Amino acid sequence: MIDLHNHILPGIDDGSKSLATSLQMAEQALECGVTHIVCTPHIHQGYFDNTQDKIVEATKAFSQHLIAAGCQLKVASAAELRICPEIMSWYSNNTLPYIGMWQSKHVILLELPHSHVPAGTDNLIRWLLNNNVQPLIAHPERNRDILADYRKFEMLKRCGCIFQLTAGSVIGRFSAPIKTLSLKMLSEKSICVIASDSHGLERRPNDMGQCREFLQNEIDDQYVTTLVETNPTKITQTLSWM
């Protein structure tokens, strides 16, 4: 499997705090059946002021540590972008950390606030799509606005977004309502990708293997494979794996 949302890089955001933890997270991922991870630290203005260059360098350094440890995991660099007005200027400056390609468009992993869908989100999405950038919305099932009003999700879908569901949401790691909403989205085949959004070893571990096993009794096997193998492979084939 390819995990295209993961906070495995040490000391760069609210994910792994040490190299030792990151190396253990890599082994945990392999045990789950994950062979490739896209490192997607937060870019969130005022909280995690990461840049494309900083993330690339951190990923290269981590890759060398994986090799030295004899770990077979492959990594590539991107980011989880919190929605903000600066995205348009980053696009103009060619500094958006794309996670790959989807239907001839560059893909960004776009995070909404957990509390709501901001006013004007639809306008930004249309602007991005008009500029050949495909928003892949991270964990929509955990957004409180969407939990309260499914029409917010349907609006994002109509605008042209694709969606990444969190593996832990499917197995009930967060709450029963989030699990129920996740299964509804999957039953409608509204999800493009499942990823771990792993932040550590215990509180937010890599749930990809457990999620895949659970879904084999919930949805058809072909769709499960599409979510964790086929679509992640399609999206990330332009990335440089290390």
Alpha helices in 78-207 (DSSP H): 86-92, 121-130, 144-148, 151-159, 167-170, 176-187
Give the domain ranges of the chain: 2-236
Q: What is the DSSP letter of 77?
A: E
pLDDT at residue number 45: 83
Burial of 10 (0-12, 13-18, 19+ CB in 10 A): buried
Q: What are the residues whose beta carbons fall under 8 Å from the beta carbon of 65, sequence distance 6 or more?
A: 19, 22, 23
What is the CATH number that goes with domain 2-236?
3.20.20.140
From first to last of the 242 residues of the chain, give the pLDDT tens digit. 999 999 999 999 999 999 999 999 999 999 999 999 999 999 998 888 999 999 999 999 999 999 999 999 999 999 999 999 999 999 999 999 999 999 999 999 999 999 999 999 999 999 999 999 999 999 999 999 999 999 999 999 999 999 999 999 999 999 999 999 999 999 999 999 999 999 999 889 999 999 999 999 899 999 999 999 999 999 999 999 99
In 3D space, the residue among 147, 204, 148 whose CA is nearest the CA of residue 171 turns out to be 204
CB-CB contact of 81 with 97 (8 Å):
yes
CB-CB contact of 137 with 102 (8 Å):
no
Q: Whole-structure pTM over 0.85, yes or no?
A: yes
